[in-house]
């Protein structure tokens, strides 16, 4: 993994169609894979896509 593969919370939220707060909640409560760089969260898109496929039921919008 290189730094170019990591995206910010806002980008993951946009891709998933949820709020940034929902993304942060998923990290804290549900185990969404993220890398903490200081106080910032960064995500590897492939890991997030796999987590979504494994954890969100079909038809579920995931909004918390």
pLDDT, averaged across the chain: 87
CB 41 within 8 A of CB 24: yes
Which residues of the chain fall below pLDDT 50?
Answer: 64
For 38, residues 6+ apart whose C-beta sits below 8 A from its C-beta are: none
Q: Number of helices and strands (H, E) in the chain?
A: 3, 3
Virtual CA dihedral for 20, 51, 58, 29, nearest 10 degrees? -50
pTM for the model? 0.79
Res 5: pLDDT: 85
**CATH code of the domain occupying 3-52:** 1.10.10
At 4, phi and psi to the nearest 5? -65, -20
């Amino acid at each position: 993994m290189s730094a170019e593969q990591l995206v910010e919370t806002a980008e993951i939220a946009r891709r998933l169609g949820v709020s940034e707060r929902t993304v942060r909640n998923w990290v804290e409560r549900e185990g969404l894979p993220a890398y903490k760089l200081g106080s910032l969260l960064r995500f590897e898109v492939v890991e997030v896509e796999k987590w979504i496929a494994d954890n969100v039921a079909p038809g579920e919008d995931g909004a918390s």
